[in-house]
Amino acid sequence: MRETDVFSEIWTFICQHCSHVWQDEYEARHCDDGHGGDTVSWRYRGLCSMPPWANATCVNCEAAMVKVLPAVPPAVPPAVPPAVPPGSGDRRRPAGTGSAG
């Protein structure tokens, strides 16, 4: 198998017994199986693991009634716009207020 893509995914879990909500980060490794197909292996905290939805149990009450929500990519901090020096703002006149000459 040749590794083709590795994605870090954050999965949300909701316990339907005690209503506890938590998130965990998993790494999904998409690999070519050598026969034109694709296979996915999972890692949790650096170790091989089952998929997030398999055998999920609550970290709070250990109940097996856990709803697993689809993965979301890790948050990327928003880009900070460059600072605009005072007095360098847009100085155009509003439409219809200038002279035509």
Note the Cα 96 to chain centre separation in Å.
Answer: 48
Residue 101 domain-assigned?
Answer: no
CA 90 to the chain's CA centroid:
37
25-42: pLDDT as tens digits: 999 998 887 888 888 999
pLDDT the model gives residue 70 = 85
Q: Assess contact for 35 and 98: CB atoms under 8 A.
A: no
| 86 in any annotated domain | no
Domain-located, residue 14: yes
Any domain includes 100: no
Query: CB-side exposure of 35: number of CA atoms within 13 Å?
Result: 1
56: in domain: yes
> Each residue of 51-95: pLDDT tens digit?
999 989 999 999 999 999 988 766 666 566 666 666 655 555 555
Cα–Cα distance, 52 to 57 (Å, whole number): 10
What pLDDT, on a 0 to 100 scale, did the predictor assign at position 14? 95
Residue 5's pLDDT is: 86
Q: Is the pTM of this model over 0.75?
A: no
pLDDT at 94: 52
Which segments of the chain does DSSP mark as H helices, in order?
none
Give the count of domains, the chain. 1
In a domain, 90, yes or no: no
Say if 43 falls within a structural domain: yes
- What type of residue sits at position 77? P
81 part of a folded domain: no
Could you list the residue range(s) of the whole structural domain that residue 20 is in? Answer: 2-72
